[in-house]
Amino acid sequence: MAASDPTPAGTPAPDAVKILIAGGFGVGKTTMVGSVSEIVPLRTEEPLTTAGLGVDDLDGIPDKQATTVALDFGRITIGDDLVLYLFGTPGQQRFWFMWNDLAIGALGAVVLVDVRRPESSFAAIDFFERRKIPFVVGVNGFYGEHPYEPDEIREALALPEHTPVLLFDARERASCRDVLIGLLDQLIATSAR
Amino acid sequence: MNGGDAAGRLVRPFTLTGGRTRPSRSDFTLITTVTAVDPQPVGGPRPQPEHTRILRLCAKPIVVAELATGLDLPVSVVAIMLCDLLEAGRITVRQPRLISRTPDLDLLKKVRDGLGRL
């Protein structure tokens, strides 16, 4: 806590917390951030040269993105003294280090899965499992359709039994909110144990 | 191809930081809140135009990620300029709560309730 920081007279700064929205390319991360954010999602970009990456290792990045990696984020004001930020992480997990604190101090994460190509979200699941960052899986039903049951998806992703798998629609605000609530319920249940 | 233009865009931000590519302090995370000190300290070196823009944007508390978006500059560049301003006593910094190991149940419930009101 930063209670001892000198606070300028006037507006006290609210506490800030964050949740990461992860998953493969084109799985609906930015859509979800946009659906629940109270502001139009903002974008911040890092030049690849910052990280000293040079010119290699750009396989699979569309040409227009070859020089920067983008992070989209949105905001939900919880109260006068607390603001929640949602960060939609870059689809390619190997670039997350460019925001070196991206995963540090996150309440948890939502890993979005497209059932048509679940393998695109394996890297994100692996990332959070290895760092013991709690997460739930949000299955984004394209055109609102959900051809598989949560248990089938859990099995296909080789997830532990306690990891919630939630079916939702990233275009719907209430649906996205329920996924975030599902994550918080999981966090509360785990920390009360 | 416009490789020349792209290179120009990449080089420019770091001319604002005197060629430094790492902050001298790691005080600035994406959700670290910064606020301009009011009134500003007198004396000391005159702030550069980009520093002045930052001070204007953080007259009210703002997190680093939003500040970077407002300035249209990478977070890494903004963090370096914020270090200058912090060292000059022109801004105050509020770090986000540290979550990780010991989750704060009250905080989690507060966020849960807030989401429930959406």
pLDDT digits (tens, 9 = 90+) for A136-148: 999 998 787 899 9
pTM of the predicted model over 0.95: no
**C-beta atoms of A181 and B112 within 8 A:** yes
Residue with the bigger pLDDT between A7 and B109: it is: B109
Would you call B52 an interface residue with chain A, using a CB distance cutoff of 8 Å?
A: no
Tell me: the pLDDT tens digits for B76-101? Answer: 899 999 999 998 999 999 988 766 55
What CA–CA distance (Å, rounded) separates A139 from A23?
10
**What is the side-by-side order of every strand in the sheet holding A82-88?**
A42-47, A68-79, A82-88, A15-23, A108-113, A135-140, A165-168
What CA–CA distance (Å, rounded) separates A97 from B7?
22
Torsions phi, psi for A56 (to 5 deg) = -85, 180
Which residue from A8, A46, A104 is facing B92, i.e. has the nearest CB?
A: A8
What is the reported pLDDT for A86? 97
At residue A81, does pLDDT exceed 60? yes
Mean pLDDT throughout A103-129?
91
What is the residue-averaged pLDDT of chain A? Answer: 84
What CA–CA distance (Å, rounded) separates B78 from B11?
14
A102: confidence class by pLDDT, cuts 50, 70, 90? confident
What residues of chain A lie within 8 A of the CB of B31, using their CB? 16-18, 85, 105
What is the reported pLDDT for B102? 62
Residue of A nearest to B110 (CA): A78
Assess contact for A135 and A111: CB atoms under 8 A.
Answer: yes
Tell me: the pLDDT tens digits for B28-65? Answer: 899 999 999 999 998 888 888 999 999 999 999 999 99
At residue B5, does pLDDT exceed 60? no
What CA–CA distance (Å, rounded) separates A122 from A114?
11
* Closest alpha carbon to B98 in B22, B34, B32: B32
Domain count, chain B: 1
What is the reported pLDDT for B8? 47
Q: Which domains does chain A have, with CATH numbers?
A: 15-192 (3.40.50.300)
Instruction: Report the percent of chain A where pLDDT is more than 90.
Output: 55
- How many contacts (CB atoms, under 8 Å) link A and B? 145
Would you call B4 an interface residue with chain A, using a CB distance cutoff of 8 Å?
A: no
* Closest alpha carbon to A13 in A2, A24, A28: A2
Tell me: the pLDDT tens digits for A86-95? Answer: 999 987 777 7
What is the reported pLDDT for B25? 57
What residues of chain B lie within 8 A of the CB of A47, using their CB? 9-10, 13, 74
Task: State the DSSP code for B38.
Answer: S
Task: State the DSSP code for A28.
Answer: S
Residue with the bigger pLDDT between A65 and B98: it is: B98
Q: Are strands A15-23 and A42-47 parallel, antiparallel or unpaired?
A: unpaired
What residues of chain A lie within 8 A of the CB of B105, using their CB? 188, 191-192
ipTM > 0.90 for the complex: no
Assess contact for A77 and A83: CB atoms under 8 A.
Answer: yes
Q: What is the residue range of B109's domain?
A: 3-116
Burial level of A76, CB count in 10 A (0-12/13-18/19+)? buried
Mutate to test the interface with A, among B111, B112, B113, B117 (most CBs of A within 10 A): B111
Q: Are strands A135-140 and A165-168 parallel, antiparallel or unpaired?
A: parallel
